[in-house]
Amino acid sequence: MRRSLSVCAIAALGLLGGASLALAEEKPIVIGADSPIQVQVGRDTVDTLQMAIDEINAKGGVLGRKLTLAVADETLDPQQGVAAIKKLTGEEHVDVLIGGYSSGVTLAEEPHIADAKTIYLGVGSASPTITDFVGKNYKRFKYIFRVSPPNSTHQGELIEDFVIGKLKGEFGYNTIAIVGENAVWVQGLVPVLKAGVEKAGVKVPMVELFDPDMSDFSPLLSKVKDTGAQYLLILVSHANSDVLVKQWYDAKFPIPMGGIDVKGQDPDFFERIGGKAIGEVVTNGIIPAPITPKTMPFWNAFTERYHRSPVYTAPGAYDALQVYVQAVERAKSTDPEKVIPELEKTNYVGTQGTYVFDKHHDIESGPGKINTLFVQWQEGGKRVVVWPKDVANGKMILPPWISQRAEVIK
């Protein structure tokens, strides 16, 4: 259809003169989504991008050009990830890549993306190593940007904040246990977190890292109980947090729990495990609440179109596309050499907060920028923001069996 239209256009405009100019305007801007489409985060990235593209095209596109989407399944295997990148850059000739989830895959893809001189906006992987490359070899890796979520080191700082401000400050807890999956992002985060909270007078009698494939947490939970900790801080991303939370609930574990639980961010997590997430606090980038004026319109548009709620890569992808589009408009070109300097100047209010890049092309986090919300699952699956104070919209509760015990003791 497009082909025959072009031919007609050429013929028509050729008669009028100025044909070549019109031909150049026809070429669409191709957005490449490289995401693991068998996983929810991947599906949401792709669907969000499609939705965002349709919105932008309806308003006339970018620089008079329409946007189109090309998708390649990067899976969780680095080898397939590299192949996906090559397909998008080498064959579909995309103008920009948006996606990512597993840091191992993204790290393997990086040199290939850089060699293809294509801009990459990461919306899922959180390893700081990804943007370290930009610092070490700017000339080669300047194409790499990380838009969402805050990298794992920053997340550690935000958790430290939560522990000192909320747990110690409001609840008076001064002993916490830290349990996480044995993964590099946790290993980098934990020492910083531990040192930070200990300096503020919170004791950490136990730090345990478990095999991410572990499916029986009872021995671990038992060990935590023996330490006399008052709060259990968890750091879980790929591991089976469904199982951990179910087992925590089933055992009526006497210690409240919360932290980074990527699977616990899913809007249907509570329902999926039969309501057993009650009382769990989970860090989140977005929930259906007006964090910025753009949050609710995005949330509503997504849920209306796809009949499900978005997970964390969705708002990231939505905002990433906007960040790119605005940079392209400022540069008046899609040439990466012109777009990159404009991207570096980004100061954009999206659905999760304000996006500003640091000198390693990593997203800056904290109040006023991209903040991490501490959200608690409460009665009936309701999600309440309990921290930071300035955006909190409810009180943090204790899981029902714990508060009941407290009642009984009183």
Partner 1 sequence: MRWAGKDALGAAGVLALLALIPAVTHSDYLIGILTVSLIFGIWAASWDFMSGLTGRENFGHALFIGAGAYTAALLNSKLDLSPWWCLPAGALTAVGFSLIIGFPTLRLRGPYFALAMLAAATIMQRLMRIFWEFTGGEEGIPGLDPLFESHVGTYYFCLFALTVTTAVLLALARSSWGTILRAIRGDEAACQAAGINVTFYKIAALMISAAFAGAGGVLYAHYQEAVTPDVFAVALSITIIIMVYVGGMGSIYGPVAGGIILALLPELLRGLGEYRLWVYSVILMLILFFAPGGLVAPLWRRLTAVAR
Partner 2 sequence: MFNILVYGAVTSAVYAMLAVGFTLIFGVARILNLSHGAFYGLGAYAAYVLTAKLHWPLLPAAVFSVLFVAAFGALVERFLVRPLRASALAVLMITLAVALLFEQGMFILFGSEARNVPAFSTATWTYSGLDISGQRLLTLAAGFVVLGVLYIFIQRTRLGSAILAISQDPEGAQYMGIPANRMYSLVMALSAGIAATAGVLTAPFLTVQPTMDLLPMVKAFAIVIVGGLGSIPGSILAALLLGYSETIVAYTISPAWTEIVSLIAVLLTLILRPAGLLGTRAAF
DSSP 13-71: HHHHS-HHHHHHHHSPEEEEEEE-TTSHHHHHHHHHHHHHHHHHHHTT-BTTB-EEEEE
Among 93, 117, 136, 252, binds partner 2 (CB under 8 A): 252
95: Cβ–Cβ under 8 A, 6 or more apart, which residues? 29, 30, 31, 32, 118, 119, 334
User: Which of 68, 69, 63 lies closest to 25, judged by CA?
Assistant: 63
Token look-up 């050499």 returns 337
Give 166's DSSP letter.
I
Among 115, 213, 335, 379, binds partner 2 (CB under 8 A): 213
228: Cβ–Cβ under 8 A, 6 or more apart, which residues? 175, 205
Among 49, 126, 273, 386, binds partner 2 (CB under 8 A): 273
Q: Does 66 contact partner 2 by CB under 8 A?
A: no
Q: Does 214 contact partner 2 by CB under 8 A?
A: yes
Q: Does 184 contact partner 2 by CB under 8 A?
A: no
What's the min distance (Å) between Cβ of 385 and partner 1? 31
Among 20, 222, 347, 404, binds partner 2 (CB under 8 A): 222
C-alpha dihedral sign at 95, 101, 102, 103: positive
Q: Does 380 contact partner 2 by CB under 8 A?
A: no
Q: Determine contact, residues 342/331, Cβ cutoff 8 Å.
A: yes
Among 20, 215, 300, 404, binds partner 2 (CB under 8 A): 215
**Binder of residue 210, out of partner 2, partner 1, none (CB less than 5 to 8 A by kind):** partner 2
| Whole-number Å distance between alpha carbons of 235 and 283 | 10
Residue count (the chain): 410
Q: Please say which residue, 129 or 153, places its beta carbon nearer to partner 1.
A: 129
**Binder of residue 103, out of partner 2, partner 1, none (CB less than 5 to 8 A by kind):** partner 1
Q: Does 314 contact partner 2 by CB under 8 A?
A: no
What's the min distance (Å) between Cβ of 244 and partner 1? 18
111: buried, middle or exposed (CB in 10 Å: 19+, 13-18, 0-12)?
A: middle
Question: For partner 2, which stretch binds (CB under 8 A), given 14-22, 242-250, 358-366, 370-378?
Answer: 242-250
**Binder of residue 87, out of partner 2, partner 1, none (CB less than 5 to 8 A by kind):** partner 1
Among 55, 203, 210, 303, binds partner 2 (CB under 8 A): 210
Q: What angle do CA 351, 357, 363 make, to 5 degrees?
A: 60
Count residues near partner 2 (CB under 8 A). Answer: 33
What's the min distance (Å) between Cβ of 103 and partner 1? 5
| Whole-number Å distance between alpha carbons of 290 and 45 | 21
Q: What angle do CA 242, 75, 31 make, to 5 degrees?
A: 115
Footprint of partner 1 on this chain (CB under 8 A)? 37-38, 71-73, 77-80, 82-83, 86-87, 89-91, 103-104, 107-108, 110-112, 116, 127, 129, 133, 182-185, 187, 211-212, 238
Asked whether the bond before 149 is cis by omega within 30 degrees of 0, the reply is yes
C-alpha dihedral sign at 153, 155, 156, 157: positive
Token look-up 């978005």 returns 310
What's the min distance (Å) between Cβ of 219 and partner 2? 4
Among 55, 132, 242, 364, binds partner 2 (CB under 8 A): 242
Q: Does 405 contact partner 2 by CB under 8 A?
A: no
- 307-311, Cβ contacts within 8 angstroms, sequence gap of 24 or more: 308/267, 308/268, 309/267, 309/268, 310/44, 310/48, 310/267, 310/286, 311/40, 311/41, 311/44, 311/265, 311/266, 311/267
| Whole-number Å distance between alpha carbons of 32 and 72 | 8
Among 34, 44, 266, 319, binds partner 2 (CB under 8 A): 266
What's the min distance (Å) between Cβ of 180 and partner 2? 10
Among 75, 237, 240, 371, binds partner 2 (CB under 8 A): 240
**Binder of residue 235, out of partner 2, partner 1, none (CB less than 5 to 8 A by kind):** none
Among 211, 304, 390, 407, binds partner 2 (CB under 8 A): 211
Q: Please say which residue, 310 or 350, places its beta carbon nearer to partner 2.
A: 310
Q: Determine contact, residues 291/347, Cβ cutoff 8 Å.
A: no
Residues forming contacts to partner 2 in the complex (CB under 8 A) are 38-40, 182, 208-211, 213-216, 218-220, 222-223, 225, 240, 242-243, 246-247, 250-253, 263, 266, 268, 272-274
